[in-house]
A and B are shown apart, each in its own frame.
Chain A
Amino acid sequence: MTAPYRIAGKGHLGTAPVARFTFDGKSYAGLEGDTLASALLANGVHLVGRSFKYHRPRGFLSSGVEEPNALVGVERDAARTTPNVRATVQELYDGLQAVSQNRWPSLSFDVGAVNNLGSPFFSAGFYYKTFMWPKAAWKHLYEPFIRRAAGLGVAPEQPDPDHYAARYEHCDLLVVGGGVAGLTAALAAAESGARVVLVDEQPEFGGSLRFESQTRIDGQDGWDWAQSAVHRLAGMDNVRLLTRTTAFGYHAQNMVAMIERVTEHLPGPLPDLPRERLWQVRAKQVVLATGSIERHMVFPNNDRPGIMLASAGRTFLNHFGVAVGRNVGIYTSNDSAYYAAIDLKKAGVSVAAIIDVRDNPKSAIVDQARALGIEIKAGHVVSGSKGHLRVSAMIVKPRGGGAEQTIAVDAMLTSSGWTPSVHLFSQSRGKVAYDEATQRFLPGTYAQACVSVGACNGSDRLEDLLIEASQAGRGAAQAAGVDHDAAGAYPEASAAEVWTGGMLGVAPGVEDKKAFVDFQNDVTAKDIAQAVREGMRSIEHVKRFTTNGMATDQGKTSNMHGLAIAAEVLGKPIPEVGLTTFRQPYTPVTFGAIAGNARGALFDPTRRTAIHSWAEEHGAEFEDVGQWKRAWYFPTAGEDMQAAINRECVTVRQNAGIFDASTLGKIEVVGPDAATFMELLYTNPWQKLEPGRCRYGIMLREDGYVYDDGVVGRLAADRFHVTTTTGGAARVLHHMEDYLQTEFPHLKVYLTSISEQWAVIAVQGPKSRDIIAPLVEGIDISDAAMPHMSVREGKICGVPTRLFRMSFTGERGFEINVPADYGRSVWEAVWAEGKKHGACAYGTETMHVLRAEKGYIIVGQETDGTATPDDVGLAWAIGKAKKDFVGIRGLQRQDLVAPGRKQLVGLRTKNSTTVLEEGAQLVADPNQPIPMKMLGHVTSSYWSENCGRSIALAMVEGGRNRIGDILYVPMPDNTIEVEVTEPIFFDEKGERLNG
């Protein structure tokens, strides 16, 4: 089966198998190796999309990544839909289903095209000037309308079932671009032994040799030479070849980010393969061989389907074997389109005429075209085109004025010259320089270990280019430190194509400036001129005002035209108007590929304690605390959360409770100067703390605010076991290391994180000692031998323990530290004993309630980074005789000692069953107008089953002087009256610690 525009024997696809596909539901056949674009063109389909603003019919402009028009949706299945896929890049596979976008009800009849009639109104920036009356209409009428009209494709509706991968790579030389320059550089470097990575965005290496018909290197046809070069490279084990891989971002210190499309060209799904792979390559040297991109001619109605770049016409013909039409018009301002005319003519396609802006083009290639009998209209311009959904004619007239002539065509190829692809060079922070003679920006000053070769460097002559690229490859290998003496011959050009020259902007003699510069965003030469008239003098302003170059192609074909038109209107040279910044990515990159595997469970590591599995088996609900999963409460059958908490709270105070405190941060501070160091890092005094005793410590930042807290046990004169908050472990260690290494390096102290070495089992409650007594070996745990706030080392259940007598509940309590590997078995032994005494397991919520009943603060809940120790009633923890500790000076600042600071207090609601909302605000006068004067807020609030009422802690301005006062909590529906109290609700005398 032959598609009507496929030319037998042309192109590089050979006898590839047929691939069937659909476009907007209609079935077609193409060949494997086609792109969706070449396959549609083979079937004579040019109309593939609608433009953004005017919904004008659009076809293919290009055959590559610079494509602004031919964006389609590709639908593999219900979940695997991808919007805005460039048909010129999407490779064909059997079963491909593509749909057009941004049209309703159909591509050929699009109601949105009515915008085109209104186009005189929708000039550049029109929306800044209207839609302001009436005010409410913007939100409810205008904006929704604009939003519906904008956008191209549609987001997928289901989560993506595919996965993505990531690789890191280090090499001597990364070569970006596998055309003739890149291949030559890679060969030269690889032969000298360097580790080379060569990447190209196309499915095959070869670059412009895909379409060049007259280039011969080392006596071979250009394409054949490229394939043999690839063959040689593939045989070297110091070379990695990556096709379908786009280098999209050039970062600091030669880190280049690349995206490899692994399965997009294959029928699927292929669940074992990643859809795409992100490569981050750190290269000692980079060679940029990124080529150049052809520009279109800017003339009125230059956007009709069938009007495309000359190089695209050649690629479709010479690579894919597809003719873009049967009677093709050529419009150019340089030689490169002549090659297209010649190739078409030789392939049997009629060439209507070559319209050349130049008065008297002279070159061998012009002569060739003439010799083939192709009509050349030099000194002419195209002043318009005809056709509805496909170009049907071009309107031609002499450049200096004269009668218009209509020439029937069914396709047009245009070229206004080539723009070097300096995107990555510019991203590397190199500075481009404008070359006046050739009207192009070229690499100027380099900022990184990188060199540009070939077309992207403005190297036009193949002979020179081959030498330049070879030398760059060898030079890069040397610069990367590779020793070599290989001085192989450079490849030699036997015959070369030359396509220099061209023009920017609208051809002289064309009056109507409604000529498209940026196709996708519908920006015309007229729009750009208008922007300049309105005062936009910087190219960045012009770009933003007109949106030129901001579409999905990022201006690859339009930026230079836009710049030239603006410069002309301003009457300034191009470099003075500036060049817009090239930003990552070179072409759009899939979110999922950048995110990689960091999704779901792998989004962030989950930390679980040694006892986690036991809690899971016993029905615990968990809460996220930082990366930790902590057991929140342990509901029994039929219990809701509050019932479970009530039971747990009462059980702990009546009998005992067992709590997994393993997530607490733990740091061992060891060394002859350990106590001196502790004195400096904590507000408390430590020198006199006896070994075997513990103290509640407070750590400040230098500005005097509470940073962390925790119980510290002194195990020996030179050894402290420090605990931190769960969330604070890493930053407290960092903070300590910082001071130890940089401020107090004279102190002989070693810091070790032991958070994960020790599992911690808290046993709290009147029966706690009875529970652990049978399990403990070698430690006298009587009150006399081991009073509250002491620590002992010994054994429990036969394993080593650091046993703390301490309490965060107000009850007699112990915290059993055991090596984490024994955490669960010791827990189970404690649990077995505990059950005999009516103990329960409890979670973080009960821990919070019990400590609130006692008025113990939680750093991060009562404090918020602006609280001093005194604010939260901990002034006693500051060593009064101390001459220095971190935070001592910050605490002296006037606002930190001023009256009226917020202070920790308790609150009792008038109605004892009302539980305040945490975060609720307190006021003295609930009837004052808004904005109200707020005195503070509720930091913690719970139902306390032990107290038989609600309890709350709050931070209140001058709170300690307000004890006994009535304050109010204004809620949306009512006001709650509260009494300010001491921040303690249970066992005010603290008798139960030894009870």
Chain B
Amino acid sequence: MLLIRCPYCEKDLPEVEFRHAGEAHLVRPSNITEMSDAEFEGYFFIRQNPKGIVFERWRHVHGCGRFFNAARDSVSDKFLTTYKAGEPKPVLGDRE
């Protein structure tokens, strides 16, 4: 069971309080109806699924209820950082 830091509650809490919510930094375009089929496929279906650092969303569903983002190593499952929704993708170069 992972230990996850909720950036709103500022606490490390067990994974069962959270719900994983897929890849982060996918933005729903405001002109969604104008997307081509390929663009829509890219937005809704295609996923990076990297082996290494993944940027993902979590929701503290059994806590504050907020969605937030995390950077995690998908090989070791170690969290590099978590940050609030809407904040830019952090630069991780100096972390690991």
- Whether chain A touches chain B in the assembled complex (some CB pair under 8 Å): yes
Check A890 for interface membership: any CB of B closer than 8 A.
yes
B33 on the A face (CB < 8 A): yes
**A255 and B3 contacting across the interface, CB-CB below 8 Å:** yes
Known contacts A738-B21, A893-B37: A251-B28 contact under CB 8 Å: no
Chain B residue at minimal CB-CB distance from A447: B76
Could you tell me the distance between the alpha carbons of A737 and B62 in the complex, rounded to whole angstroms? 13
Q: Determine the residue in chain A with the shortest Cβ distance to B84.
A: A741
> When chains A and B are docked, how far (Å) is the Cα of A454 from the Cα of B35?
63
Within the complex, the shortest CB–CB distance from B18 to chain A, in Å, comes to: 12
A734 near B33: Cβ-Cβ < 8 Å: no
| B84 smallest CB distance to A (angstroms) | 10
A266 CB-CB contact with B under 8 Å? no
- For A889, the chain B residues whose CB sits under 8 A away are 32-33, 35, 40
Known: A883-B33, A889-B35, A890-B44. A255 touches B1 (CB 8 A): yes
Taken residue by residue from 883 to 896, chain A's Cβ proximity to chain B (1 for < 8 Å, 0 otherwise) reads as 11000111011100
Residue with the greatest number of chain B CB neighbours at <10 A, chosen from A280, A743, A889, A894: A889
Question: A850-873 vs B: 1/0 string, CB under 8 Å?
Answer: 000000000000000000000000
Which residues from chain B contact A738 at a C-beta distance below 8 Å?
21, 59, 67
Can you give 29 A-B contacts (C-beta < 8 A)?
A: A251-B1, A252-B2, A252-B76, A252-B78, A253-B2, A255-B1, A280-B1, A282-B3, A429-B76, A447-B76, A702-B28, A702-B44, A734-B19, A737-B59, A738-B21, A738-B67, A741-B67, A741-B85, A742-B57, A742-B67, A742-B85, A742-B86, A743-B27, A884-B32, A889-B35, A889-B40, A892-B33, A893-B40, A894-B37
Docked CA distance A253–B80 (Å): 12
Contacting A252 at CB < 8 Å: which of B28, B57, B67, B77? B77
Q: Is there a chain B Cβ closer than 8 Å to A144's Cβ?
A: no
The answer to whether B86 touches A745, judged by C-beta atoms less than 8 angstroms apart, is yes
The proximity string for A residues 406-440 relative to B, scoring 1 for CB distances below 8 Å and 0 otherwise, is 00000000000000000000000100000000000
Smallest Cβ-Cβ distance to B45: which chain A residue: A703
A 715-770 contacts with B by CB, 8 A: 734, 737-738, 741-743, 745
Give the docked Cα–Cα distance between A893 and B67 (Å): 29
* Residues of A with C-beta under 8 A to B37: 893-894
In the assembled complex, the Cα of A162 lies from the Cα of B35 at a distance in Å of 61
* Residue B61 at the chain A interface, CB threshold 8 Å: yes
Chain A residue nearest to B24 in the complex (CB): A742
B46 CB to nearest chain A CB (Å): 13
Do residues A703 and B85 form an inter-chain contact, with CB atoms below 8 A?
Answer: no
Contacts of B76 in A (CB 8 A): 252, 429, 447
Residue on B with the closest CB to A887?
B32
Determine whether the beta carbon of B1 is less than 8 Å from that of A745. no
| B interface size (C-beta, 8 A) | 25
- Fill in one digit per residue for A876-909: 1 if any B CB lies within 8 Å of its CB, else 0: 0000000110001110111000000000000000
Q: Which 8 A-B pairs have the closest CB atoms?
A: A253-B3, A889-B32, A741-B67, A743-B28, A252-B77, A742-B85, A742-B67, A889-B40
In the complex, what's the smallest C-beta–C-beta distance from B74 to chain A, in angstroms?
A: 12
For residue A878, give the distance in angstroms from its CB to the closest CB of chain B: 13
Q: With contacts A738-B67, A889-B35, A894-B37 known, is A252 near B1, CB below 8 A?
A: yes
List CB contacts (< 8 Å) of B60-77 with chain A: 61, 65-67, 76-77
B7 to chain A, nearest CB (A): 13
Q: Please, how many angstroms separate the alpha-carbon atoms of A280 and B16 in the complex? A: 14
Least Cβ–Cβ distance between A756 and chain B, in angstroms = 15
Instruction: Tell me if A890 and B65 are in contact (CB < 8 A).
Output: no
How many angstroms from the CA of A734 to the CA of B85 in the assembled complex?
15
Residues of B within 8 A of A282 (CB): 3
A702 to B61, CA, bound (A): 21
A883–B26 Cα distance when bound, in Å, is: 21
With a 10 A CB-CB cut-off, give which of B28, B30, B35, B78 has the most chain A CB atoms: B28
Instruction: Report the minimal beta-carbon distance from A315 to chain B, rounded to whole angstroms.
Output: 36
- Chain A nearest Cβ from B24, distance in angstroms: 9
Q: Are B57 and A888 in contact (CB under 8 A)?
A: no
Give B16 Cβ to nearest chain A Cβ, in Å.
Answer: 11
Q: Which residues of A contact B21 (CB under 8 A)?
A: 738
